[in-house]
C-alpha cells in the first residue's frame, strides 16, 4: 500500500467508526487487565459473559485474592485454559497488592513483569487504559496487515513495528481497534467479505471475491 492509500484506508475507517472501542467490558483499569488476560485464545463474548458475574463480587486485586483459586475458577471455567489463567491472575493480583498498592502500573516494563502479561497484553492496556499509541498484534490484526499490504511481516513484532512507522500519526491511537474489528467482521480468515468492505479500493489483496449472487 502506498502512503496515499494508507491515508485513505484509515480516513475511511475513521469516518465509519470515529471512536472505536474494545469489545471487552470493563469499568476500571484492573477490570480491563483481567478481561485481556482472560481473552487469550478465547472470544470477547465468552469473556464478557464470565466477567459480568465475576466483577460483581471481585473488582479489585484484593477481592479477587479473597476468592481463592477454586473460587476464581468457578467464575471463569467456561473460558479456555481457565486453570492456568486463574493461577496467573491470582499471582498478578498478589503482585499488584504487594508492590503497587492494588493499582495497575502504566509502564510497559512494569506490566510485562506481571504473570501472563506479554507484549501484546501490555500494548492493549497501554492503548485502551492510558491512551498510548500502541499496536497489539493479535491474529486478526496480523492477517489484515499482511493481506492488505498495509504492513507485511512474518512475526507479530515485525508487523507491529511496521505499522507504527506506516500509520499516519493522526490515526495511530485508534488504529489498533479499527484493524482488529476489520479482521474480526470483514477481512475474515477463510473468506474475506471484500464486496462489503469500505476500504477494499485501497487494499493490495488480489483475490477479491465478487458479491454472492442472490
Question: Where residue 40 sits, what CATH number does that domain have?
Answer: 1.10.340.30
What average pLDDT values come out for the chain (214 residues) when binned by 10 residues? 95 96 95 95 93 96 96 94 94 96 95 93 95 94 95 95 96 95 94 93 79 52
138 is catalytic: yes
**Same domain, yes or no, for 122 and 141?**
no
**Same domain, yes or no, for 122 and 172?**
no
The answer to the question of residue 10 being in a domain is: yes
**Same domain, yes or no, for 120 and 186?**
no
| From 44, 77, 138, 165, active-site residue | 138
pLDDT at 210: 57
pLDDT at 206: 77
CB atoms within 10 A of CB 84: 12
Q: Which residues contact 97 (CB under 8 A, 6 or more apart)?
A: 61, 62, 65
| From 14, 44, 63, 120, active-site residue | 120
Domain interval for residue 14? 3-19+134-202
Per the structure, how many domains does the chain have? Answer: 2
pLDDT at 41: 86
120 is catalytic: yes
The answer to the question of residue 185 being in a domain is: yes
Query: Rounded to whole angstroms, how far apart are CA atoms 16 and 156?
Result: 26
pLDDT at 209: 62
**Same domain, yes or no, for 171 and 116?**
no
pLDDT at 211: 55
Amino acid at each position: 500500500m502506498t502512503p496515499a492509500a494508507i491515508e485513505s484506508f484509515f480516513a475511511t475507517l475513521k469516518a465509519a467508526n470515529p471512536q472505536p472501542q474494545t469489545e471487552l467490558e470493563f469499568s476500571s483499569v484492573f477490570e480491563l487487565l483481567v478481561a485481556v488476560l482472560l481473552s487469550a485464545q478465547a472470544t470477547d463474548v465468552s469473556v464478557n459473559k464470565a466477567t459480568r458475574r465475576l466483577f460483581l463480587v471481585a473488582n479489585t486485586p484484593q477481592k479477587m485474592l479473597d476468592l481463592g483459586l477454586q473460587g476464581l475458577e468457578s467464575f471463569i471455567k467456561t473460558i479456555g485454559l481457565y486453570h492456568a489463567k486463574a493461577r496467573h491472575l491470582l499471582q498478578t493480583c498478589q503482585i499488584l497488592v504487594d508492590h503497587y498498592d492494588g493499582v495497575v502500573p502504566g509502564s510497559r516494563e512494569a506490566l510485562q513483569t506481571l504473570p501472563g502479561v506479554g507484549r501484546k497484553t501490555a500494548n492493549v492496556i497501554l492503548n485502551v487504559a492510558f491512551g498510548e499509541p500502541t499496536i497489539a498484534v493479535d491474529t486478526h490484526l496480523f492477517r489484515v496487515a499482511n493481506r492488505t499490504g498495509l504492513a507485511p511481516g512474518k512475526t507479530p513484532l515485525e508487523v507491529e513495528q511496521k505499522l507504527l512507522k506506516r500509520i499516519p500519526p493522526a490515526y495511530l491511537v485508534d488504529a489498533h481497534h479499527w484493524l482488529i474489528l476489520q479482521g474480526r467482521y470483514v477481512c475474515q480468515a477463510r473468506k474475506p467479505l471484500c464486496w462489503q468492505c469500505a476500504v477494499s479500493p485501497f487494499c493490495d489483496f488480489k483475490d477479491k471475491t465478487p458479491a454472492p449472487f442472490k
